Structures are given as structure tokens and as C-alpha cells.
Structure 1
Amino acid sequence: MNASDRTPADLLRSALATDPARPLVTFYDDATGERVELSVATFANWVSKTANLLQGDLAAAPGDRLALLLPAHWQTAVWLLACSSVGVCVEIGGDPADADVVVSGPAPDDLAAARACRGERLALALRPLGGRFPQAPDGFADYAVEVPGQGDRFAPFAPVDPDAPALVVAGTELTAAQIVGRAREDATALGLKAPGARLLSDRAYDSWDGLSAGLYAPLAAGSSVVLCRNMDQLSAEGLVKRIESERVTGTAGGDTVS
């Protein structure tokens, strides 16, 4: 990665310029059997479409706040990088009543809380292959319906300030530049040094450690992540096979991996 990269969006652009075909995020949901692998290029395309949706249809601008009510998931990772591209500050599990935009998953409690947002409200079904809701929740736009028609290239209307607030997680506010700095430090601590390193993480996205292992550190290191949800439903033998088949070089444990 380039030493001059100061935002997560910068890191993604550098990854795209370096090796667009390599895997970036491989996602498993062991409750559904879903496996999705996104190359840098495919992930970046989702980010561009989502950033265009955020900036265009949702009229979000630098300095706006987005309450993100989503679990660890490849689509959550896309939203984190889309917000970085626009300059919107993401509040993980933030109060929708104080947010300009809210993005909710399908859980009834999250949807109920998200209705407190007086701004734009978007919902994700989190179905395999990014599938849509059979019927969108009342008062919400369906991400899977809105995003496919967005442009494949993104250009922000205003420059993104690396020193502006970019993320709030577990009560800690970080600028875009601080995210990049911490991610680089974590990449070293997590052993993401050799080209092609693959980190398996089942950490939740509700803490910096989870966000870093599950996205930011591998991105900063030019590595990739095997992001696992509901891995408590995977047997010990299944975990060993996954580590072997995915060529995992290191693990970042949550409740399942140690």
C-alpha cells in the first residue's frame, strides 16, 4: 500500500491499482451455508455503486452521520468503505434519532430502532448473493433494489478530509487518518506481512478489534480476510478444513477462534 494513503478509500484505490484480481473479502455464514468471495475489483465496484447511492439518491455529504445497524458481513464492509469514499461518518450501532441516514439489517429490533431516523432509511435483507427482501420493510428503501442501477465509477462532490471524523465504534471516535494508522499497526500485530496473507476472523463488527481484523487491517496490508459469521455452528473439523481450503495464514478469534 502507498505510504501516502490517508483514508480507507485511499487504501482501496491502492489495492485496486496493485492487484485487482486478488481476493479481498471471503465471507461465510454458517447459519445459512453462504460463501461469497469478492476480489478487490468486485468489492470496489460494490463500494462505488453504494457510494453513488449514498451521495446521489440519499443526498449524504461530508460531515453527515450514518447509523449502521448491521452485523459483521461483506455488505457491511462495503458500506464502511462507501461512507469513507463520500466522507460520511459511520456510527456503528449509533442512535438513528441523531443520524442523517440509517442503514439497518433485517432484524426486527434493528428495524424498529431505525424508524427513529428522520432522514433517509435503507434496509438490507442480508440474503445470499445480496438478494432483496420479498417485500421491503415499511418506511425503508431496499438496498438490493436501489444499488444495482448505480454507476460503476464514483467521484465525490467534495474532497474527503482525512482529519474529519469517519468512524464511531464502542464510544471511540476516529478520523479517517487514524483508522489507516491503527489498521497498519494492527496488520503488523496480526502477522499480515507476507504477500497473500489470509486472516480468518469471527470477531463481531461492534468493536475496533473486530472492524480492524475483519476489514481495515487486511486492506491496509494488501492482504485478505476470511470473515465468518455464526461460526459457533461450525464443527472443529469443519474449521480445520476451512483453514486449509482457504489457505488461512493467521486467525483473529472472537467467541469461536482462539
Structure 2
Amino acid sequence: MNATDRTPADLLSSALAADPGRPLVTFYDDATGERVELSVATFANWVAKTANLLQDELSVEPGDRVTLLLPAHWQTAVWLLACASVGVVADVCGDPSAADVVVSGPEPESLEAARACSGPRVALALRPLGGRFPQAPEGFADYAVEVPGQGDRFVPYAPVAPEEPTLIVAGREFSGAEVVDRARAEAPDLGLTGPGSRILSGLPYDTWEGLNAGLYAPLATGGSVVLCRNVDRLDADALDKRVESERVTVIAR
């Protein structure tokens, strides 16, 4: 991180310049046994491809709204940073009918709600290793089919202004600068003290607290996150073993 970083995309760029090989997001789904570890470089590559998909294929423009009907997941984190890179607003669990684009998980209720969006609809299977649907839901583009062919580098058509909105969560709107400033300010309270800090988060992504612990604060401090979905399925011994094996320094649940 650099003191001059003013948007979430700036934070990722600084992390990539500082140490591209270090882990950034390690994801567990304790309902399926999935584990995925993404280095800064791998995560940034997914972000670049997704940003290119948004800008070139879905034709979004700065200020447009992208509703994310997604759980706490590594691919959700990718979409949040891709939206910030393009300059569009990521509306987490927002109203699809008010969105220019909607991105849905595979759950039937999520897909049904997403149909209220009159613009492009993208569906994520959320399968291990970013796998595709056996058959894409009708009326949706399959993210895992569309994203691999996108470019590995992203350049926005227009500079992203830090003071413009970048995130809506739980009805609260944040500019890019507010996300960065608040993430930095709250990181010490989470126990994130700088590079080497590693937080295990089992919090959902539908609140600022969950997004901050599960993405923004680790990114803002040069740390990393072990993002755990369905972590309540672990008993105390299994959780302790994960904390030890992943070298976790702090837990947010």
C-alpha cells in the first residue's frame, strides 16, 4: 500500500507492485471442502479480465450500477475490485431492478431475483476453480465461459475519480476514497497491523464489516485474508488447526 492510494484499485496496483507472489485471498467452503489460494498476481489477473468483461463486453460506463447477488466468495472479491477498476458502483445485495448489470450466484432464488434487471445478466456457478455451469441459466451469460478470453491487462477508458461512488452495501454509499480511508482507519481494530497480518473471516459480505474484514482492510494494510464460507460447520479443533496451518494472526467471525 502507498499513502497516495485513493481507490480500491490503487490498493491492488500497489500490492501487485510490492509483492505479486504473496498470498492475498485464501478461500474455503466448508460445505464442499473447497480450498483456493490466490496470490496478488493471480487475483489481479482475475480482476483485469473481469474489468475488461465489464467495460468491453457489457458496455458499462463510470457511474453505472452493478448489483452483486453473491455470497462471501473469492469471485465476489474479484467483482468488487473489477467494478472499482472500471469506475462503476458495486451494489452488494441491492435491487436488481435498479441495476444496469446484475451478477448472480447459482441459487434459484438469486437467479429469479436477478431477472428483474433489464440489462445484462451474468451468473456465477461458484464451482471449485471457477468452473462453469453444466448449462448456463436461461437469460444469463456464464461468467466462467466469458471471462477466460478477456485481456490480462486492464486500462479504463476514463480515469476513476476517488470521490465518485464505488460501493453500496446495506444501503450505505461509499466513494473510492471513503473505502480506502475507512479500511485503513479500522484495520488496527481488526488486529491488522501491516504486512504479514493474516485475518480469518467468516463474516458475510452483506455488511461493511464483512467486506472490510474479508477484503478491504487486508488489502489496505498489505495483509491477506482467509475467507471462509460455511465456517460454522467446523468444530473448535478444526478451526484451531486451520488457524495454525494458515498462519492466521486474527479472527473475525
TM-score bin, normalised by smaller chain: over 0.9
Quote the residue 1:205 is aligned against. 205
**In structure 2, distance between residues paired with 1:195 and 1:20:** 13
**2-structure distance, mates of 1:179, 1:228:** 22
3-state SS of the aligned residue for 2:49? helix
Q: Percent identity?
A: 73
> How far does residue 116 in structure 1 lie from its aligned partner after superposition?
0.8
Alpha-carbon distance in 2 for matches of 1:104, 1:137: 10
Q: 1:134-159 CA distances to partner (integer Å, 9 max, x unpaired)?
A: 00000000000000000000000011
Q: Following superposition, which runs of at least 4 residues in structure 1 exceed 6 angstroms of deviation?
A: none
Partner deviation per Cα, 1:214-243 (whole Å, 9 max, x = no partner): 000000000000000001111211100000
SS in 1 for 2:149: coil
Structure-2-length-normalised TM-score: 0.99
The Cα of 1:194 is off from its aligned counterpart by: 4.2
Alignment of 1:9-24 (within 5 A): 9-24=9-24
Partner of 1:172: 172
SS in 1 for 2:6: coil
What residue is the counterpart of 1:53 in the other structure? 53
CA distance in 2, matches of 1:96, 1:8: 23
Structure 2 counterpart SS, 1:59? coil
How many angstroms apart in 2 are the aligned matches of 1:158 and 1:136? Answer: 32
Deviation at 1:65, TM superposition (A): 0.3
Q: For the residues of structure 2 that align with 1:148 and 1:35, how far apart are their CA atoms? A: 21
Pair 1:6-2:14 in alignment: no
Alignment-derived partner of residue 256 in structure 1: none
1:142-193 deviation line (CA, Å, top 9, x unaligned): 0000000000000000111110111111111100000000100121211211
Quick one: distance in 2 between partners of 1:186 and 1:238? Answer: 28
Q: Report the equivalent of 2:126.
A: 126
Query: CA contact under 8 A between 2:84 and 2:166: conserved in structure 1?
Result: yes
Q: Partners of 1:231 and 1:11 in 2: how far apart?
A: 28
d(CA) in 2 for partners of 1:60, 1:123? 17
2:239 is paired with a residue whose SS is helix
Unaligned runs of 5+ in 2: none
Provide the residue aligned with 2:137 in structure 1: 137
| 1:22-171 aligned within 5 A | 22-171=22-171
Query: RMSD of aligned C-alpha atoms?
Result: 0.6
1:37-84 alpha-carbon deviations (Å, 9 max, x no partner): 000000000000000000000001100001100000000000000000
Secondary structure (helix, strand or coil) at the match of 1:185 reads: helix
For 1:109, what is the secondary structure of its paired residue?
Answer: helix
Q: CA deviation at 1:195?
A: 2.5
User: Tell me, which stretches of 5 or more residues in structure 1 are unaligned?
Assistant: 254-258
Deviation string, structure 1 residues 16-40 (Cα, Å, up to 9, x no partner): 0000000000000000000000000
- Name the structure 2 match of 1:241: 241
Distance 1:174 1:194, change over 3 A: closer
